[in-house]
A and B are shown apart, each in its own frame.
Chain A
Amino acid sequence: MPPRFHLIGDAALNIEWPQGPQANALARGLHASLMADPPIGYQESLPALQSLLLRFDPLTTDPQQLELALTKRLQGLASTVLKPGRLWRIPVCYDPKFGLDIEALAAAKKMTPERLAELHAAKTYTALFLGFLPGFAYLGGLDEALTAPRHDMPRTKVPSGSVALAGELTAIYPLESPGGWQIIGRTPVKMFDVARPEHSLLAPGDEIQFFPITLAAFASS
């Protein structure tokens, strides 16, 4: 299915694919391709769930020219397999001290908090895209048994490192911020750190596995 192109202002283009499992992979694939071989006037791109936003210089190129170049590039892209990103193993303490919602959520799902943690740590997730906050990666691949609604009233403060889930996605809050997702644990790993050369730990396309750690292990890390 061909994507839909639409202007966002005079200096950005939105490329959106019909909903489906391929949409995000195409957005990430096109993002990688654009970064490796930027077309004239390209400034940056941002893959999202099923779309890509491309910022361009309106004094160097125009939307028609870009749309043509991108359509052509996508034809070449369809046949190539997306290179997998890095695999990260991230420790998570699922203790209710950090997992503020894990007991209530487990009860609602008629399972123990331990079982919930086990299911969460059993999967390999893919970073579909980053957004909301610096370093906040939306991770796809959540077990169907763990899908959950957002809180009606978001918390005003979700602690940094909180591991959370909502809908069919899971994520780690890289910074303290307001948030409405169900919090099931916390990682001691800094997801966004300006002291590191690469500030954001995760990049779109990276794969993530979680492994449980105890409160003591969390404290000593």
Chain B
Amino acid sequence: MTLLVRQPGLMTSLQDLGRLGHLAQGVPPSGALDCEGLMLANALAQDRLTPSHPGDTELNVNPSLKQISRADSRHQSKPFNGFDFRRPALAGNSQDTVALEMIGHGPTLEVEANSLRIALVGFVQASLDGKPLASWRSHLLRKGQLLKLGPVEQGHVAYLAVAGGFDGPLVLGSRSTYLRAGVGLKLEPGKKLATHLGDAPSGPLLQMAVPSNWICPSLRVVEGPEIGMLGKAARDDFFKAKWRISDQADRMGIRLDGPRLAHSQKSEIAPSGLVRGCIQVPGDGRPILLLADHQTTGGYPRVACVITADLPLAGRLAPGSEICFECVTWAEAKTALADRKAAFQALLSSIRPIPGLDLDALSGVNLVSGAVDALALDDMP
């Protein structure tokens, strides 16, 4: 029922959609940096297609899976995070089932469970017993096999979901790791990642279309309450400049390199509330973009905030890449959110069973990765 950690990777942790609603206690939301990646991985890991799929019928559902769905539905009344398309109890995995988030470079894991169905999402290099393993689909793994996750190329973050989900302590309605408060497992060689299931479910393996616009060099923002604390030139620079993602990047936030932004007078404010996506400019003039593990209050001017629609893109920013900020109105942000949700639904709808009797996958050997590209779906955004 476990995956043995041989190598932890660069920044690997268990994440679900986060623990929303506890900012007043000083507790950050945590959760997946890229909620779309997490939800897609869970959708691929389950042992049946989503109910909305035409012609889809209920496959034989393992009773133990149903139980897990119920257990996980305890926190179904969690608040809005902008990308919460949770559906009634899918077989095994709901969209907020906890999965492994891999930042920069993934871990090396040994399968200790009898068999395991996993799904990979993101541009991550992977191999199983030395043979390449394709992303954007599910795979069947057998006891004793060695799963090596390598560099994450485009998008910097990737997800590994397992059918039935990983086990982990439920803290404030979430199994997301937040190591600063001692919540969750720190991956180290020899540690074990527990899964709910000891055997892979019997349904068909699934694959999806490879997304074409996974990363984007422009993030849309709404101006923040303290944008006026920047001088006129700094304000122009903020929107004109190309910002480079520095190496000071983790799940808390990202430092941006570019022109130094000068404050017109003060560079501190009374401690005020923060949300994911906020961009603060401290006294040194280097902006900080806050991500999932952000601190809940801060004393630096909040000059802008990334809109909900673009938060998954903010989670995929790789050190060394460049971005710029585009100012939008609230109404434009709302339209963008609706568009983003529609595009995400299209991605979900691209999920199909892998055609034919997948003998290769069933015997635990790698499937020809070309099968994914062969989908060539026309309902892609």
Do they bind each other? yes
How many contacts between A and B, using CB within 8 angstroms? 163
Are A200 and B26 in contact, with the CB atoms below 8 A? Answer: yes
Are B296 and A8 in contact, with the CB atoms below 8 A? Answer: no
Interface residues on B, range: 35 or more
Are B225 and A16 in contact, with the CB atoms below 8 A? Answer: yes
Query: Which residues in B have their C-beta under 8 angstroms from that of A14?
Result: 225, 272-273, 302
Are A16 and B272 in contact, with the CB atoms below 8 A? Answer: yes
Q: Could you give, for residues 314-351 of chain B, a 1 whenever the CB lies within 8 Å of some chain A CB and a 0 otherwise?
A: 00000000000000001001100110000000000000
Are B20 and A130 in contact, with the CB atoms below 8 A? Answer: no
A116-168 contacts to B (CB < 8 Å): 129-138
Are A6 and B224 in contact, with the CB atoms below 8 A? Answer: yes
- Asked if B82 is an interface residue, CB under 8 A from chain A, the answer is yes
Are B225 and A9 in contact, with the CB atoms below 8 A? Answer: no
- Asked if A53 is an interface residue, CB under 8 A from chain B, the answer is yes
Kindly state the separation between the CA atoms of A196 and B298 in the bound complex, as whole angstroms.
27
- Asked if A187 is an interface residue, CB under 8 A from chain B, the answer is no
Query: Which residues in B have their C-beta under 8 angstroms from that of A12?
Result: 273, 275, 305
Are A46 and B271 in contact, with the CB atoms below 8 A? Answer: no
Are B297 and A132 in contact, with the CB atoms below 8 A? Answer: yes
Query: Which residues in A have their C-beta under 8 angstroms from that of B23?
Result: 44-46, 53, 55
Query: Which residues in A have their C-beta under 8 angstroms from that of B338?
Result: 59
Are A130 and B296 in contact, with the CB atoms below 8 A? Answer: yes
Query: Which residues in B have their C-beta under 8 angstroms from that of A8?
Result: 222, 224-225, 273, 275, 278, 302, 305
- Asked if A19 is an interface residue, CB under 8 A from chain B, the answer is yes
Closest to B24 in A: A46
Q: Which 10 pairs, one residue from A and one from B, show the smallest C-beta to C-beta distance?
A: A53-B273, A131-B297, A9-B305, A10-B333, A6-B225, A46-B23, A130-B26, A46-B273, A57-B80, A200-B25
Known pairs A9-B278, A10-B309, A58-B330; list 7 more (Cβ under 8 Å): A4-B225, A51-B270, A52-B273, A57-B79, A129-B297, A130-B25, A134-B25
Residues of A within 8 A of B (CB): 4, 6-12, 14, 16, 19, 31, 43-53, 55, 57-60, 62-63, 129-138, 174-175, 177, 192, 194, 199-200, 203-204
